[in-house]
A and B are shown apart, each in its own frame.
Chain A
Amino acid sequence: MEKEQIIKLQRKANDLRKDTLNMCIEAGTGHVTSSFSCAEILTTLYSGNILNYKYNNPEWDERDRFILSKGQASPILYVALTNAGFFSKDWLKTFCKKDAKFGVHLQNTVPGVEYSTGSLGHGLGLGTGVALRAKIDKKNYHTFVLLGDAELHEGSNWESAMFASSHNLNNLTAIVDRNGYGVLGATENIVKLNPLEKKFKSFGWDVKTIDGHSVKEIYEATNNFRGYKEDKPLMIIAETVKGKGIKSWENKALVHGMAPKGKDIKKLEEELEVYSSRGEYE
Chain B
Amino acid sequence: MRDTFWDRIYGLAKRDKNLVLIDADMGAPSLDKFRIDFNGRQYFSTGIAEQSMIALASGLAKEGKKVFTYAIAPFITSRCHEFTKLNCGLMKIPINLVGVGPGFSYDDSGPTHHLTEDISIMRAIPNLEIYCPSDNPAAEALAEKMYYSKNPTYIRLDREILPDLSGRDESLVRGFREFGKGDLAIVSTGNMVHTALEAKTHYSGKGIQIGVIDLHQLKPLSKEFKKNISQYKNLVSLEEHILDGGLGSIIAETIVDNDLPVKLKKRIGLSDYIYAYGGRENIQKSCGIDTSSVINKIDEFIN
**What residues make up the interface of A, taking CB atoms closer than 8 Å to B?**
108, 114-116, 119, 121-122, 124-134, 136, 155-156, 159-160, 162-163, 167
How many Å lie between the Cα of A119 and that of B83 in the bound state?
9
> Whose C-beta in chain A lies nearest to the C-beta of B59?
A129
Q: How many A-B residue pairs have CB under 8 A?
A: 80
Query: Is B54 an interface residue, CB under 8 A from the partner?
Result: yes
**What residues make up the interface of B, taking CB atoms closer than 8 Å to A?**
20, 41, 44, 46-47, 49, 51-52, 54-65, 82-83, 86, 90-91
How many Å lie between the Cα of A131 and that of B64 in the bound state?
13
Q: Is the CB of A156 within 8 A of B52?
A: yes
How many Å lie between the Cα of A133 and that of B63 in the bound state?
7
- Choose among B56, B64, B90, B91 the residue that contacts A132 (Cβ–Cβ < 8 A): B56
Q: Is the CB of B60 within 8 A of A132?
A: yes
Chain B contact surface mostly: helix
Residues of B within 8 A of A115 (CB): 62, 91
Q: Is the CB of A156 within 8 A of B44?
A: no
Q: Is the CB of B56 within 8 A of A160?
A: yes
In the complex, besides A115-B91, A125-B55, A167-B44, 11 extra interface pairs with C-beta distance below 8 angstroms are A116-B86, A119-B82, A124-B55, A125-B54, A126-B56, A129-B60, A129-B61, A129-B63, A132-B56, A133-B59, A163-B56
Say yes or no: A129-B86 contact (C-beta < 8 A), given A116-B91, A167-B44.
no
Say yes or no: A122-B55 contact (C-beta < 8 A), given A136-B41, A163-B49, A167-B44.
yes
Most buried by B among A108, A125, A159: A125
How many Å lie between the Cα of A54 and that of B244 in the bound state?
49
> Whose C-beta in chain B lies nearest to the C-beta of A139?
B63
> Whose C-beta in chain B lies nearest to the C-beta of A136?
B41
Q: Is the CB of B59 within 8 A of A122?
A: no
How many Å lie between the Cα of A141 and that of B58 in the bound state?
18
> Separation in Å of the A173 CB from the closest CB of chain B?
15
Say yes or no: A156-B51 contact (C-beta < 8 A), given A128-B59, A130-B62.
yes
> Separation in Å of the A223 CB from the closest CB of chain B?
24
How many Å lie between the Cα of A133 and that of B58 in the bound state?
11
Q: Is the CB of B56 within 8 A of A129?
A: yes
Q: Is the CB of A159 within 8 A of B91?
A: no
Residues of B within 8 A of A133 (CB): 59-60, 63-65
How many Å lie between the Cα of A108 and that of B86 in the bound state?
11
> Separation in Å of the A170 CB from the closest CB of chain B?
15
Q: Is the CB of A159 within 8 A of B63?
A: no
How many Å lie between the Cα of A159 and that of B58 in the bound state?
15
Residues of B within 8 A of A159 (CB): 46-47, 49, 51-52
How many Å lie between the Cα of A128 and that of B52 in the bound state?
9
